[in-house]
Amino acid sequence: MNVIKRSGEEVAFDANKIENAIIKANEATDEAKRIASDKIHEIAARVIAQCSTVKRSVSVEEIQDMVENELMSEKAFTVAHNYITYRYERALIRKANTTDQKILSLLGRNNEEVKQENSNKNPTVNSTQRDYMAGEVSKDMTKRFLLPQDIWDAHEKGIIHFHDADYFAQPMYNCCLVNLEDMLQNGTVISGTKIDKPHSFATACNIATQIIAQVASNQYGGQTITLSHLAPFVDISRQKHRRAVAEEMAEAGVELSNEKINEVAETRLRREIKDGVQTIQYQIITLMTTNGQAPFVTVFMYLDEVPAGRTREDLAIIIEEMLKQRMQGIKNEKGVYITPAFPKIIYTLDEDNIHEDSKYYYLTKLAAECTAKRMVPDYISAKIMKQDKGDVYPCMGCRSFLTPDRFTPAGKGNMAEAGNYNAGMKKYYGRFNQGVVTINLVDIACSSHKDMKKFWQLFDERLDLCYRALMIRHDRLMGTPSDVAPILWQYGAIARLKKGEKIDKLLFDGYSTISLGYGGLCECVRYMTGESHTAPEGEEFGLKVMQHLNDACKKWKADTNIDFSVYGTPMESTTYKFAKCLQERFGIIEGVTDKNYITNSYHIKVTEEINAFDKLTFESKFQKLSPGGAISYVEVPNMQNNVQAVLALMKHIYSTIMYAELNTKSDYCQVCGYTGEIQIIEDKNHKLIWKCPNCGNTDQNKMNVARRTCGYIGTQFWNQGRTQEIKERVLHL
């Protein structure tokens, strides 16, 4: 059994420390009120037994809480008082400098919490450590004077989660849709260097990757680009190749028909498209941003974003090449093709590609093959999105969706002063999300003790807490000058504001959004009704909870002219934090707090048996009530020999749900060369570890594991809560 120290370091459990701490408190007590030594031993033994039932590494704080409770239960009130006093005095000493030990444990590469905090960051490399060190300072500032005490206390207790506190000290937003079209067509500036409109597809791809890296270094969340912004450069290259072929043939004295010239030029063009797509794929994976990881970028594929004709045909060529290269994968250090984490890819299903006789159905089949092998692309249904939002546009990063454009029709005009503004078209690219605060629905339920009246009262109190926290995020951005991130605010990624101009106008009128996240609907419903939310009574209550979140956002939006939106939080590491806090506050409640994770957003519990089609149909009702972002998934086995089943699921997505994905396994053992599913087992310390079923390798540094974490693929492994959740997922097909 292991214990997590306050620094985040994980060390072997030392039972003697528990008994010694009680002995010290006992010795500080008047002799008449002391407890016997055998009683101290009994108390320590009970605490050790409690720790062993948790089946994860407990924290020092949790152990101290257990000791206090046991002393109180023995009516050893004076000893308990002295124990609490000593604990408080030590806390004051630590509070004088809250960051040193965590930073030192980062540098020593033994901070277990940080190691598993982000499944796409390698915490052992200098650039990531530098980002984490800065993050610790930012969190310390946020804790001590940037947030009110009640909001920080609620965050620490897992009542809410104030996301990305490690970046809050700086005026940075969360995620965005990059206005790549404006930057490519009208030029931009990167690191003080003027970049003109590219004169070829290959150059456009290269510039796009530089823009992606710059954007990633000036925000903390995900970004999305669309291939439709690159499509116009295909014909520019085509014409360039035609001229070059004609000139070369003329110089060689060879007469070629226009048809033959075009044929040779098209061959060269295809090669350039292949190279350009490869540039995007490899640059994104190999670039290192200032936050110590590859850019978290999504690539959107939607044929109808461009007019029918030559440009749409060219876009189809780019999409085809992107799918082929992603299906191939990238080489690891052993030279073996594996599944990369990024870029995330979204393929839009529509009438021109969903049916067997559709013009672009060949792309849909290719997408299905790619999903079966590499877990991407994910799928947006144009049909359902038009019904729900009135438009079709991608999410920012993994799932955060903008609200539908409401400022263009309202006559606000070109708020961002974009170079590609069109008054007759709704605007999505160049917009962003201000940030997220997540409410723990399970905590509300458990705190109500199944009293429905108290539940709704507590719900409103917690929502008020979230509202104040979200407004603090908003106010932190207010007054930000465009100079803090020129690539975003001055050179087209978001806007083309003047130097020194403040970004304030882009925080209102729906230009940007701000997200009320939520987690644990499944466990919340289970506690309050005794039913899964897939049962009639549970579903009814669950939908009421979702509607209540939406009603709150609607009111806040009316009060502030800020677009608040309900967001199904990904909760990569927060799921573990919330679970630990719930266990500390309420103990182990079967079906509610008995796991080291809580269920993301509205999802059906990962252990619940349900087939893929029914799962997507059921969750579509809840996804509609997460307009600020959500994604549904189905867990499937190896589908490479059953692509028809993947296509059947894709057609079901098209007719049923706006945004969904398929999860499969794609692993590689570097020791024995095994390709398949690397398993999760429990070691002697009750810690979950990864093990090759072929050779028994358990060294994470000698295996490549890719799993869908929270809508995106993770490859750097996960904390114990998320690992347990991955282990317990049942197949839906």
Identify whether residues 223 and 338 lie together within a single domain. yes
For the question of residue 396 being annotated catalytic, the response is yes
Assess contact for 198 and 184: CB atoms under 8 A. yes
pLDDT, position 144: 82
Average pLDDT over residues 47-66: 82
Which range, 111-115, 277-281, 395-399, is most confident?
277-281
87 plus 197 within the same structural domain: no
Q: Which secondary-structure segment (H or E) carries 344?
A: strand 344-349
pLDDT of 420 over the 90 cut = yes
**Residue ranges making up the domain that contains 82:** 1-96
* Average pLDDT rounded to a whole number, residues 51-74: 83
Which residues are 378's β-sheet partners? 346
pTM (predicted TM-score): 0.85
Average pLDDT over residues 533-541: 97
Q: 582 in a domain, yes or no?
A: no
Mean pLDDT of 63-84: 85
Q: Does residue 526 register a pLDDT over 90?
A: yes
Of 342, 369, 400, the last residue of a domain is: 342
- Catalytic position from the list 176, 205, 398, 466: 398
The answer to whether the CB of 301 falls within 8 A of the CB of 345 is yes
Whether residue 398 lies in the annotated active site: yes
Record the tokens describing residue 694, joined without a space. Answer: 């072929």
Three-class SS of 661-695 = EEECCCEEECCCCCEECCEEEECCCCCEEEECCCC
- Long-range CB pairs of 355-362 (<8 Å, 24+ gap) are 360/303, 360/316, 362/320
Judge contact between 438 and 163, C-beta under 8 A: yes
Tokens found for residue 73: 């239960």
Strands (E), 105-177: 160-162, 175-177
302 included as an active-site residue = no
Whether residues 322 and 216 share a domain: the answer is yes
- Residue 130's pLDDT is 65
Token couple for 290 = 């200032």
The span from the CA of 582 to the CA of 440, in Å, is 10
Residues 337 and 202 in one domain: yes
- Distance separating alpha carbons of residues 202 and 573, to the nearest angstrom: 38
16 given a catalytic annotation: no
Q: Which of 321, 342, 363 is the last residue of a domain?
A: 342
Residue 370 among the catalytic residues: no
Out of 112, 272, 305, 572, the active site residue is 572
Query: Mean pLDDT over residues 432-448, rounded?
Result: 98
The answer to whether residues 188 and 330 belong to one domain is: yes
Are residue 88 and residue 195 in the same domain, yes or no? no
Name 453's Cβ contacts closer than 8 Å, sequence gap at least 6. none
Q: How many helices (H) and strands (E) does the chain have?
A: 24, 25
pLDDT at 116: 53
User: Which residues contact residue 310 at a Cβ distance below 8 angstroms, ignoring those fewer than 6 apart?
Assistant: 235
Tokens of 460: 């409103």
What kind and span of H or E run contains 703?
A: strand 703-704
Q: How do residues 158-197 score in pLDDT, each as one tens digit?
A: 999 999 998 898 899 999 999 999 999 999 999 899 999 9
Q: What is the pLDDT of residues 226-237, one digit of tens each?
A: 999 999 999 999
Annotated catalytic residue within 174, 200, 218, 550: 174
Instruction: Provide the number of structural domains found in the chain.
Output: 2
Catalytic residue flag (residue 393): no
Q: 248 near 261, Cβ under 8 Å?
A: no
Q: Say if 636 falls within a structural domain.
A: no
**158 among known catalytic residues:** no
567, 597, 654, 668: which is the annotated catalytic residue?
A: 567
Please indicate, yes or no, if residue 426 is contained in any of the structural domains: no
Catalytic residue among 568, 711, 714, 721: 711
> In the beta sheet, which residues pair with residue 348?
380
Active site residue 501: no
329 belongs to a structural domain: yes
Give the amino acid at 519. G
Higher-scoring residue by pLDDT: 129, 507? 507
Q: What is the DSSP string of 73-104?
A: HTT-HHHHHHHHHHHHHHHHHHHTSSSHHHHH
Q: Which of 59, 400, 663, 719 is catalytic?
A: 400
Q: Identify the domain boundary among 342, 364, 396.
A: 342
Q: Are residues 81 and 208 in the same domain?
A: no
- 548 pLDDT tier (thresholds 50, 70, 90): very high
Contacts of residue 629, defined as CB under 8 A and 6 or more positions apart, other chains included, come to 395, 399, 400, 401, 515, 565, 567, 568
- Mean residue pLDDT of the chain comes to 90
Length of the chain: 733
Q: What is the mean pLDDT of residues 668-685?
A: 89
Nearest to 365 by CA among 646, 11, 111: 646
Residue 221 included in any domain: yes
Identify residue 325 by its one-letter amino acid code.
Q
Domain assignment present for residue 296? The answer is: yes
The reported pLDDT for the residue numbered 102 is 60
Active site residue 175: yes
Q: Checking DSSP bridges between strand 707-708 and strand 675-676, what pairing results, if any?
A: unpaired
371 belongs to a structural domain:
no
Q: Please compute the mean of the pLDDT values over residues 565-578 and round it to a whole number.
A: 90
Tokens of 717: 């492994």
Active site residue: 175, 466, 546, 639, which one?
175
**Catalytic residue chosen out of the listed positions 66, 176, 395, 396:** 396
Q: For position 334, what pLDDT does the model report? A: 83
Region at 561 (left for phi over 0; alpha for psi -120 to 50; beta for the rest) = left
Based on the fold, state whether residues 56 and 188 are members of the same structural domain: no
Most confident among 17-26, 138-147, 539-548 (mean pLDDT): 539-548
In terms of domains, do 212 and 83 share one? no
Residue 17 resides in a domain: yes
Per-residue pLDDT at 169: 87
Q: What is the mean pLDDT of residues 98-127?
A: 55
The residue from 200, 218, 353, 433 that is catalytic is 433
Contact criterion met (CB below 8 Å) for 176 and 225: no
